[in-house]
Amino acid sequence: MATRTTLTILLTTCLLMVGIAAQQPQTPIFRSGTEIVDLYVTATDKNGRLVPTLGQEDFIILDNEEPQEIVLFENEVRPITVVVMLDTSASMTPQLDLLMAGAEQFLIRMLPDDRGKVGAFNDKIQILPAQFIGDRDELIRQLDRLQFGNPTRLYDAVGASIDDLTGVEGRKVVLVFTDGEDTQHAIGWRDVLEKARAAEVMIYTIGLEMDYFNGVRQVRSSPDKRLKTFAEETGGGYFELKDSDELGPTFTRVAQELHSQYVVGFAPSIRDGKVHELDVQVTQEGTTARARRSYVAPQDQGQ
């Protein structure tokens, strides 16, 4: 009798648990291996002002021109891990104080959960400190340790910054400044883009036109044309300046953008391990979205 009673109690309990579970909302279950592709999106109006009031319904994601269901939407600040990489070649000598002051404007606007490094490039590449840190004052002090030289290893510098960010979790950013063109490199600009795509790194670029004496005559520098390509392909921003007085406001603008981005995500419907084109659109009239233009789709095992 005791055994029968115990079985009856167990059976009743199980039935009650099933009934309770049936009444509770079910959490969506994604099949094994499904990954969400995060896209960090900057939305601006026709005057270039940030638009902070959009909802999920205002976004459209196209993967190889095919609309995707948005399964993730956030309008909250996510921490960044950033390498601030500065051109300290000879042509920048007259403007180094303004450049460092501009970089400080970015660093002091880092939020408590942000992490960063600072770097310089000329005939060599330097990135400090060894580990990403969140101490803004220490990062500013590291600016004083950056060295100067010639020529301009722009592509190598961006590539080295991406290498430092590879394996870091969360939102990864390279912010690079230069007043000239790449004059010496071990890797090409296409290799840089491939690195950025694989590591999912966003590249912001600032280019400055300026007059300087090259040892023979007065010349005007021209920022490398690939700066715009790096930014557009990875979802960052490109800023081309005519006056060094614009450095401070521009570094400030980059900090504002990075802390005002939307996160929209989708689960890829085609998982072939190939590079896919991305297009993020906004339905609100007069508003433009900026995000990375490609990603490497995940691949199911056995494919």
Q: List per-residue pLDDT tens for the chain, 303 residues long.
A: 444 443 333 334 333 333 333 333 333 333 334 589 999 999 999 999 999 999 999 999 999 999 999 999 999 999 999 999 999 998 888 889 999 999 999 999 999 999 999 999 999 999 999 999 999 999 999 999 999 888 899 999 999 999 999 999 999 999 999 998 999 999 999 999 999 999 999 999 999 988 776 677 777 778 999 999 999 999 999 999 999 999 999 999 999 999 999 999 999 989 999 999 999 999 999 999 999 999 999 987 765
Residue 225's pLDDT is 94
Angle at 158 between CA 65 and CA 149, to 5 degrees: 155
Nearest by Cα to 260 from 36, 109, 66: 109
| Token digits of residue 227 | 């700066």
CA end-to-end span of the chain, whole Å? Answer: 58
pLDDT at 34: 52
What six digits make up the tokens of 204?
């912001």
**How far, rounded to the nearest angstrom, does the alpha carbon of residue 153 sit from its chain's CA centroid?**
22
- For the record, the structure tokens of 1 come out as 């009798």
pLDDT for 91 equals: 84
User: How far apart (Å, rounded) are the C-alpha atoms in residues 73 and 265?
Assistant: 6
**Domains detected in the chain:** 37-76+261-296 (2.60.40), 80-258 (3.40.50.410)
pLDDT attached to residue 278: 98
> pLDDT value at position 216?
77
